[in-house]
């Protein structure tokens, strides 16, 4: 079955802002919420958007509170899009309790990345696409204006097209397929569960932040042992930020960690599918959105194209 795209937004539509994972302060969302208003939409804040609950991690509320907010946002017929305030950790607590009864009658865009990969995998299992893009809270790297512009373009019905320069680790070739993936740690965490992505004939996107190189190797090995690389048509590798023993934030240019890329490239050397390195999506300043569940064509030659 063809995946379902939500209706395009029009001026005045309501955008729910929720915190499904980590805690966030109001000051961290001021610019993002104002941006939604300035684009002509009405932000509607989740009841527990700024709630804090400490239980080995600073969550944006208890599991019950976060479940309540996300189910409200997904099913309220007056809401046209749901935008996560941030990632962090905690979305895995929610997926067993998600309700889509009203959502199915009026699908809406879900926007986020990082830990939100879990929610996006769930939605795709149910046949709905989502936007893997910048959250309302900007990272310590900042975020380019174009990163948000492109999200609003998608919300208005314009599919993204990207042209990139060649990368030394790229593997040439052309392919097409439905895009799956997101944050590698969450893709890895869902393997073997009923919430994992279906990888057959798909194009896989991965990105990550703050992982030791051995942990990156372990996750790539788990994908291999699970047969993922025998199923996919192609791979897109985004930001690999603050990897290894790096303690300080790297600049945008250094967010495509060369050793991490070398490690991934070596692991994939025996596979024939095309691979793109250096795609501008992830925990980076230039975080350009991708449509999870969207049909994508990738051309990897001297110039690289990724078109939805």
Active-site residue set:
114, 207, 283
Phi, psi of 283 (to 5 degrees): -85, 65
Tokens of 107: 């699908």
Residues 6+ apart with CB under 8 A from 103: 74, 75, 128
Look at residues 56, 45, 47 and name the one whose alpha carbon lies nearest to residue 22.
Answer: 56
Distance between alpha carbon 71 and the CA centroid of its chain, in Å? 19
- The bridge status of strand 53-54 relative to strand 14-18 is unpaired
Q: How many CA atoms lie within 13 A of 106 on its CB side?
A: 12
Residues 222 and 216: their CA atoms lie apart, in Å, by: 10
Work out whether the CA dihedral 283, 287, 291, 295 comes out positive or negative: negative
């Amino acid at each position: 079955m063809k995946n379902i795209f939500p209706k395009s937004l029009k001026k005045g539509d309501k955008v729910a802002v929720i915190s499904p994972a980590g805690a966030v302060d109001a000051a961290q969302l001021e610019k993002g919420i104002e941006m939604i208003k300035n684009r002509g939409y009405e932000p509607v804040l989740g009841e527990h958007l700024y709630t804090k609950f400490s239980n080995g991690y600073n969550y944006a509320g208890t599991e019950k509170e976060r479940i309540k907010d996300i189910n409200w946002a997904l099913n309220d017929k007056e809401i046209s899009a749901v935008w996560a305030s941030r990632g962090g950790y905690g979305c895995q607590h929610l997926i067993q309790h998600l309700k889509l009864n009203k959502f199915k009658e009026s699908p809406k865009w879900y926007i986020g990345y990082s830990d939100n990969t879990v929610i996006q995998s769930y939605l795709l299992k149910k046949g709905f696409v989502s936007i893997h893009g910048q959250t309302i809270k900007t990272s310590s790297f900042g975020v380019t204006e174009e990163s948000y512009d492109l999200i609003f373009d998608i919300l208005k019905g314009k599919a993204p097209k990207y042209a990139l320069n060649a990368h030394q680790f790229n593997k040439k070739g052309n392919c097409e397929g439905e895009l799956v993936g997101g944050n590698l740690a969450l893709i890895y965490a869902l393997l073997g569960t009923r919430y994992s992505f279906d990888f057959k004939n798909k194009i896989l996107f991965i990105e990550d932040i703050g992982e030791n190189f051995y942990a990156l190797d372990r996750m790539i090995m788990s994908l291999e042992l699970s047969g993922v690389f025998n199923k996919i048509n192609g791979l897109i590798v985004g930001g690999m930020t603050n990897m290894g023993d790096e303690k300080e934030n790297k600049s945008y240019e250094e967010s495509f960690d060369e050793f991490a890329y070398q490690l991934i490239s070596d692991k994939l050397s025996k596979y024939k599918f095309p691979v793109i390195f250096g795609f501008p999506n992830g925990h980076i300043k230039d975080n350009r959105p991708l449509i999870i569940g969207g049909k994508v064509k990738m051309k990897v030659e001297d110039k690289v194209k990724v078109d939805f």
